Chain A
Amino acid sequence: MHPVILRNVSRTYRLGSVDVPALSDIHLEIRANCFTVICGPSGSGKTTLLNVVGCIDRPDHGEVLVAGQNVLALSDDALSDFRARNLGFIFQNFNLLQVLTAYENVEYPLLLSGMPAPQRHERVRSLLDAVGLSDKARNRPGQLSGGQRQRVAIARALAPAPTLVLADEPTANLDSQTGAGIIALMRQMQREHHVSFVFSSHDPQVQAAADDTVTICDGRITSIERLPESSGVLA
């Protein structure tokens, strides 16, 4: 089953008195357990597409199925619950809660899902261990490097065992070496947790690591390149 199916999706923003089409007639299926990157020039609609897939923006037209659910039919609260259960987010600026420790940041989505404390603590510890930050659990974001913050963000995104992780330019604020490390980590996590990752990125390193590459320009998909499932890259 495809974790994401978009049919005839359009999204227009209104800037002053002008309507600016951000997405036009998008048809897209994201494959399960894949690394999918959405690439294209600035202003092409990458982030808007990611927002629609991430259920934090609603298209004007079309149908959006995420994890088999028609998300446009959900109320705001139901959509929040849906995101908490099925989606993980990794942001360009990490977007960690500054007042919480690394441990607490990873724990937060699990609190929203109501996971019992013993399981929650076990899950957080294993994720921090997986991203190599067991010794930084008590550190706040301000005490971590950029790469470490993004690792915490990856652990947070994976905490609720989502169907899909969305990452908006996850390496844009990292140096190339750290970015490469993050990509490798995400790839590892994707395989270990059997989850689909969808990125928007300009980073050639990210594009090189992708299973599927969706190119978008002026709000329209211009090409979709998929590695064959037999390539061995897919988990």
Chain B
Amino acid sequence: MNTVSLALHNLLRNRRRSLATLLAMVIGLCAILVFGGYSSSTIYSMQTGYVQLHGHLQIQRKNYFLDGSSNPTAYGIADYERIMEQVRRDPVLAPMLTVVTPKLQLSGIAGNFAAGVSTNVLSAGIVAPEQAQLRAWDDYGNMSYAPPIALLNTPGNAVVIGTGVARKLQLCQALNVHPCPTPSIAKNTSAAPTPDDIAALSAQEAPSASAKQSTHIEMLAATVQGAPNVVGLDVVKAENFGLKEFDDSYTMMHLAQAQRLVYGGAAPQVTAIQIQLHHTAQMAQARARLTQLLAPELQKGELEVLDYETLAPIYGQTIEFFQSVFGFIAILIGVIVLFTVGNTMGMAVVERTTEIGTLRAIGLRQGGIRRLFVTEGLVLGVAGAVLGTLIALALAALINHSGLTWTPPGYVYAYPLKVRLWGAWATLAGSAGALVLVAGLSAWWPARRAARLLIVDALRHV
């Protein structure tokens, strides 16, 4: 008969009350763990999305991210092929790499001359097969339902445009974009009219436009020399790019085409080299190695290395948001457990006052009384932690196999709705440990009160 055994006996004395207390703890812990698993899953989903989009790291010209977005003429990386080769061949980096791919970001005007409309666009020149590899990254297991890159296996003059761009260029019907209301305002009032000289340039660049009238557009951009340049492009798909502002202006074309548009006959450049690793955990090591490899360029302030968290600030903000909600829920449930266990122990002290007096009379020290009641709180806490953890794991498995999906803000494709608990040992141990601690702490005050009872008063208690 040790203290734990006696505590267990005492808890079983009033089964209904102990069960009610246990239930409160189990529900509380389940809520914390399931939410923790959900937020963890959401964060992993978002990370997967951003790593698929940006890679883990990007090499850019210094301050391009802050100041030179879509200004390839000022922030192009001229010797990008050498740098990519250097990265790919590096014995330290090579085993960590999945993809190293260039990207050229530019801005221009897209026009549908057949309809007489044009709009400002942001465009990315990409290497489609390598972007497809980027998008295949799924290190956390079945986290993404990302569709294939629409530009894959398309001709060199292919372009993918946002559905918003398709609407503005009045290509809805040809590209099967819905919804697409018929413009109720006069033609060309919402978009800049195409200048005559640009139209003439376009006519030269798109000799077969008449044959492909329904999906043919022209893209105008400024070259490095400052002169306007136009290329004719065939829209292969209108794709929803998520955020409306983005969808209304984004287009994607093959890198070579984008480079021809911006650099013409000059040496081609890119605005970023995307580097994707096998695992996010390798990022610090990879970054350190890149810093060594690119030391001359970095020291001269020509280049910089950015990670996906910097490139997508919303990722960090989302983590902070989830952490604050998790913290709030944890505190709320902690307070509930504190008062529930405290109340249970308080009632036990009142009911067992005579017994406390008896134990003290036969020689149990004050510390022994405190230990007994705190142990009862801890036993309740441990039982709640074990049961709560098991039930939360079962709930997580149920949710994970339910086939539910969700689409994060700014995304157009769904992610499986998952609660990542199995393997999140730190979360499980931390939450369960905190519950036990709170249960023990909440029993402390009633235990102290019990220990300080005067023996004669306790024995007289009815």
Contact = CB atoms under 8 A, between A and B. Distances in A.
A57 to B, nearest CB: 5
A89 interface: yes
A84 B1 contact: no
A80 B363 CA distance: 4
Residue from A80, A83, A112, A156 having most chain B Cβ neighbours under 10 A:
A80
A111 B361 contact: no
Nearest to B13: A99
B1 A107 contact: yes
Contact of B365 (A81, A91, A107): A81
Interface in B331-376: 354-355, 357-368
Contact of B13 (A76, A98, A108): A98
Nearest to A101: B1
B459 interface: yes
B455 A57 contact: yes
A173 B12 CA distance: 28
Contact of A97 (B2, B355, B456): B355
A95 interface: yes
A97 B359 CA distance: 9
B363 A100 contact: no
A51 interface: yes
A127 to B, nearest CB: 14
A111 B2 CA distance: 8
Contacts of B364: 80, 84, 112
B6 A80 contact: no
14 contacts: A56-B455, A80-B363, A82-B363, A83-B361, A83-B362, A89-B358, A95-B355, A95-B358, A97-B358, A98-B355, A99-B10, A99-B12, A100-B6, A113-B363
Contacts of B187: none
**For chain B, which range describes its interface: under 10, 10 to 19, 20 to 34, or 35 or more residues?**
20 to 34
A99 B362 contact: no
B1 A111 contact: yes
A84 B363 contact: yes
A51 B13 contact: no
**For chain A, which range describes its interface: under 10, 10 to 19, 20 to 34, or 35 or more residues?**
20 to 34
A104 interface: yes
A232 to B, nearest CB: 33
Interface in A39-94: 51, 54, 56-57, 76-77, 80-85, 87-89, 91, 93
A77 B358 contact: no
Interface in A94-149: 95, 97-100, 104, 107-109, 111-113
Contacts of A99: 6, 9-10, 12-13
5 nearest A-B residue pairs (beta carbon): A84-B363, A99-B9, A56-B455, A95-B358, A80-B365
Contacts of A84: 362-364
Contact of B358 (A76, A80, A91, A104): A91
Interface of A: 51, 54, 56-57, 76-77, 80-85, 87-89, 91, 93, 95, 97-100, 104, 107-109, 111-113, 156, 160
Nearest to A99: B9
A111 B368 CA distance: 12
A107 B2 CA distance: 11
A77 B362 contact: no
B456 to A, nearest CB: 5
Contact of B354 (A51, A89, A95, A109): A95
A141 to B, nearest CB: 11
Interface of B: 1-2, 6, 9-10, 12-13, 354-355, 357-368, 455-456, 459
Nearest to A98: B13
Contacts of B362: 83-84, 88-89, 108-109, 112, 156
Nearest to B1: A104
A46 to B, nearest CB: 13
A156 B1 CA distance: 15
A108 B362 CA distance: 9
Contacts of A54: 361
B361 A89 contact: yes
B13 to A, nearest CB: 5
A104 B363 CA distance: 16
A60 B205 CA distance: 112
Given A80-B365, A97-B359, A99-B10, 14 more contacts: A51-B456, A56-B455, A57-B455, A76-B365, A77-B365, A80-B364, A83-B362, A91-B358, A100-B1, A100-B6, A109-B363, A111-B1, A111-B2, A112-B363
A161 to B, nearest CB: 13
Contacts of B10: 99
Contacts of B368: 80, 112
Residue from B10, B354, B363, B459 having most chain A Cβ neighbours under 10 A:
B363
B9 A100 contact: yes
Contacts of B357: 95
A100 B358 CA distance: 14
Contacts of A109: 362-363
Contacts of A160: 363
B15 to A, nearest CB: 12
B368 to A, nearest CB: 8
B171 to A, nearest CB: 80
Contacts of A113: 363
Contacts of B363: 80-85, 87, 109, 112-113, 160
Contacts of B459: 56, 91, 95
A83 B359 CA distance: 11
B297 to A, nearest CB: 73
Nearest to B451: A76
B444 to A, nearest CB: 19
A27 B445 CA distance: 41
B139 to A, nearest CB: 53
